[in-house]
Chains A and B, each alone.
Chain A
Amino acid sequence: MSQVLKIKDLHQTFEQGTVNENRVLRGINLELVAGDFVTIIGSNGAGKSTLLNSIAGTLPIKQGQIILNGNDITKLPVTRRAEKISRVFQDPKMGTAVRLTVEENLALAMKRGQKRGFRAGVKKKDRDFFKSQLAQLNLNLENRLGTEIGLLSGGQRQAITLLMATLRRPDLILLDEHTAALDPKTSITVMQLTEKLINEQNLTAFMVTHNMEDAIRYGNRLIMLHQGRVALDLTEKEKKSLTVAKLMEMFQKQVGTEVKDDAMLLA
């Protein structure tokens, strides 16, 4: 299996040198091979979002290295990483441009990381493709290409964001608690769609979640972060027989401290 992502000794410290110094990541080492679908859990402040932001490029990296498909991308800005990395945010409003129509948003995603010129933004030949892609969401969006995204519900927007993130196949897709802001029913729909899209294109994925059930159910690898370090790294085989209770137990053993209540993990 070919290696897609390699994170070497990644550190992130906020407000370095002040009394508020906060060492959020304390040496993360990870390797992902093609097709890895990794779920990441951890309590608040464990460094999940910081890790994702470091990979996406929204946080500059002072210490450590990130290698994508053999290329060192540590110093590249977000826009330069966008060709290879796509992202779905927690807030459904974040992933789409509100005042643009459905088809305009999709057209933007079609050109992710590509050179943009003075050709038509939404091309005729793309419309059929957009329609067929939207049809598979089963949200009756295929006939609403001209609707402004802002008029759609959070779930619909998140589904479209997901589609946008996979329209042009990314080498790596980052999902940052992308179902957390949705109601339970929509959340399940979007999760199933996530799995479908990832499996169909055999994508390499990072999914941060607060939902331990989801973390166990989806993906082929589970990572738990604790205080900026990888506390647990479970393979597909180990995941199969896993339950939330077992996961809690393993976590306590690993960390060596009593976890007061699972609110800490689930919150």
Chain B
Amino acid sequence: MINTFWELFLSATSQGLLWSLMAIGVYLTFRILDLADMTAEGSFPLGGAIATMCLIKGINPILATLAAFVGGLIAGFVTGVLNTKLRIPSLLAGIITMTGLYSITSRVMQNAANVSLLGKDTIFTIAQNWGLSRNNAVILMGVIVVFIVIALLVIFFRTEIGLAMRATGDNIQMSAANGIKTQGMKILGYMISNGCIALSGALLAQNNGFADLNSGVGTIVIGLASIIIAEVLLRNLSIGARLLTLILGAIIYRLILALVFQMNVEPSDAKLASALVLVVCLALPNFHLPHNLKKGDKNVSSLKN
């Protein structure tokens, strides 16, 4: 019993680490820029596809993973331009890019819905070659990648441009009045966000051993749930601390899901279970705190523009 729980915990930790990059990506648009970006569900499988195809071609796993990140940057750029230059509302802009990306990802995967990585070296086999078990290798690599990403983001948000981006999401009129190019800031935010999400897709594809064209469905819910769990558990944190707690949020979310699956649910019920977990996460804090989610954690219903 204790052993199964420990197994469960380790697996949730490794999975959560890889998913936390998804949560970080969603956090950048959803919380920092106050935009609802559905591109996530397209850039996630795109990242997986790019990394997988690169690995199959024998490209170094680290380069393959970086290539996926770049793919995400480009996807985010497209949504950013649609939203700012063509003035398409962010929710629609994301849906448009997501829809288009399905075909792009399909092409990347040479029209296969599934591409296996069987027998190929991945970023995790690098760590396995150091003598680590599979799960420990995933945890180690996950920790390294996530901490590099968070460190870079924390440094970035303290630069002049980083401050300008946070101000843009916070108060767009004030930002414009201070000469901040708010459109450029949004585009950059979309790019970094989807870069992180594609990175998450790339790592999870390597962990699963295959790229899946349809793996994007429902992923934004996972990102959102991780964010909400982190915000409910620990309120009013600085950006750096908040990004770190997203890892915790993602791991807890995996744990909750794992527990749900212990109750013999059908695999096809997974998405419904995910959605219900998110509902519970979103609704619970409201019962306890009528004046819910104060400053810093703005109300979740702000899915505007």
Interface centre among B166, B179, B181 (most CB of A within 10 A): B179
Known: A150-B295, A151-B295. A117 touches B178 (CB 8 A): no
A55 to B156, CA, bound (A): 34
Whole-angstrom distance between the alpha carbons of A12 and B203 in the complex?
A: 55
Of all chain A residues, the one with the shortest Cβ separation from B168 is A97
> Smallest distance from the beta carbon of A65 to chain B beta carbons, Å?
22
In the complex, A121 Cα to B34 Cα: how many Å?
21
CA distance A82 to B3 in the complex (A): 63
Residue of A nearest to B166 (CB): A100
Chain B contact residues (Cβ within 8 angstroms of A): what range?
Answer: 20 to 34
Taking a contact as CB atoms under 8 Å apart, the answer to whether B177 and A56 are in contact is yes
Contacts of A87 in B (CB 8 A): 177
- Do A79 and B181 have beta carbons less than 8 Å apart? yes
Contact of B160 with A121 in the complex, beta carbons under 8 Å: yes
In the assembled complex, the CB of B35 is this many whole angstroms from the nearest CB of chain A, namely 15
Q: Known pairs A97-B174, A118-B156, A121-B163. 14 more at Cβ < 8 A?
A: A58-B173, A58-B176, A79-B182, A86-B177, A96-B171, A97-B171, A98-B295, A99-B166, A100-B163, A100-B166, A108-B178, A118-B160, A121-B159, A150-B296
Given known contacts A78-B176, A82-B179, A98 and B162 CB-to-CB distance under 8 angstroms: no
Asked whether any CB of chain B lies closer than 8 Å to the CB of A266, the reply is no
Q: Is B175 part of the contact surface with A, judged by Cβ < 8 Å?
A: yes
Contact A94 B180 (CB under 8 A): no
Q: Could you list 5 examples of A-B contacts with CB < 8 Å?
A: A56-B177, A82-B179, A96-B174, A121-B160, A122-B158
Given A108-B163, A117-B160, A122-B158, A98 and B170 contact (CB-CB distance below 8 Å)? yes
Interface string of B207-246 (1 = CB under 8 A from A): 0000000000000000000000000000000000000000
Would you call B204 an interface residue if the criterion is a C-beta within 8 Å of the partner chain's C-beta atoms? no
Q: How far is the CA of A18 from the CA of B174 in the complex (A)?
A: 32
The chain A residues found within 8 Å of chain B, CB to CB, are 56, 58, 78-80, 82-83, 86-87, 89, 93-100, 104-105, 107-109, 111-114, 116-122, 148, 150-151, 164
**Are A82 and B161 interface neighbours, CB within 8 A?**
no
B164 within 8 A of A: yes
A120 touches B159 (CB 8 A): yes
0/1 interface trace, chain B 122-160, chain A, CB 8 Å (1 if under): 000000000000000000000000000000000010111
